[in-house]
């Protein structure tokens, strides 16, 4: 049984689909959800970008992440599922590393995440957090893909 369900969210339609599936799983299994959002400050790292950013940009990114977690938490609780939320910060590190670390630390019984299902050059250019999690996860992983158009 999957009682502790870790759900990474990023505000995309795909992560919302993963969250919906996690809520169904939690309701069926009597489980709880931990939401995780990773704030990646790589775009603000002075080694890689000019110092032309206002000092409050990082706080704005954090605030946006907290808002996303608050909205998702309300959605989960509104479905009668217990949940908590964690905001993690990275400076250029892969999101997958943080997801897997959180799965170990909590400890999760399963990770549920949406995936874009990119292939070919798009996958090479954009990378795949889901693929990295598959390779490193210490627990089962449920990947949820968006239905293809017209299905």
Instruction: Please answer whether residues 22 and 81 qualify as being in contact, where contact means their C-beta atoms are separated by less than 8 angstroms.
Output: no
130 is a domain residue? yes
* Residue-number span of the structural domain to which 92 is assigned: 4-145
79 is a domain residue? yes
- Alpha-carbon distance of 77 to 112, in angstroms, equals 17
With bands split at pLDDT 50, 70 and 90, how would you rate the model's confidence at 18? very high
Summarize pLDDT for 60-70 with one digit per residue, the tens: 889 999 999 99
151 is a domain residue? no
Q: What is the mean pLDDT of the chain?
A: 85
150 is a domain residue? no
Summarize pLDDT for 105-149 with one digit per residue, the tens: 999 999 999 987 655 444 443 347 888 899 999 999 999 987 654
Percent share of the chain, pLDDT over 90: 62
| Torsion on CA atoms 113, 118, 122, 123, rounded to nearest 10 | 60
61 is a domain residue? yes
| Strand, helix or coil for residue 137 | coil
Summarize pLDDT for 33-64 with one digit per residue, the tens: 999 999 986 655 455 454 555 457 778 889 99
The pair phi, psi for residue 86, each rounded to 5°, is -130, 130
- Alpha-carbon distance of 15 to 122, in angstroms, equals 18
Q: In this structure, what CATH number is given to the domain that contains residue 28?
A: 3.40.50.620
Instruction: Please tell me the total count of domains within the chain.
Output: 1
């Amino acid at each position: 049984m999957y009682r502790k369900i870790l759900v990474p969210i990023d505000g995309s339609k795909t992560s919302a689909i993963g969250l919906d599936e996690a809520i169904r799983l939690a309701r069926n299994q009597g489980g709880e959800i931990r939401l995780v959002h990773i704030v990646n400050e790589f775009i603000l790292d002075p080694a890689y970008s000019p110092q032309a950013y206002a000092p409050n940009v990082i706080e704005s990114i954090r605030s946006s992440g907290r808002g996303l977690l608050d909205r998702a938490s309300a959605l989960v609780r509104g479905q009668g599922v217990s949940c908590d939320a964690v905001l993690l910060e990275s400076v250029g590190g892969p999101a997958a590393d943080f997801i897997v670390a959180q799965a170990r630390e909590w400890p999760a019984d399963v990770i549920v995440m949406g995936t874009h299902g990119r292939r070919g050059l798009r996958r090479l250019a954009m990378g795949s957090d889901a693929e990295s999690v598959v390779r490193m996860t210490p627990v089962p992983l449920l990947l949820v893909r968006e239905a293809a158009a017209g299905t």
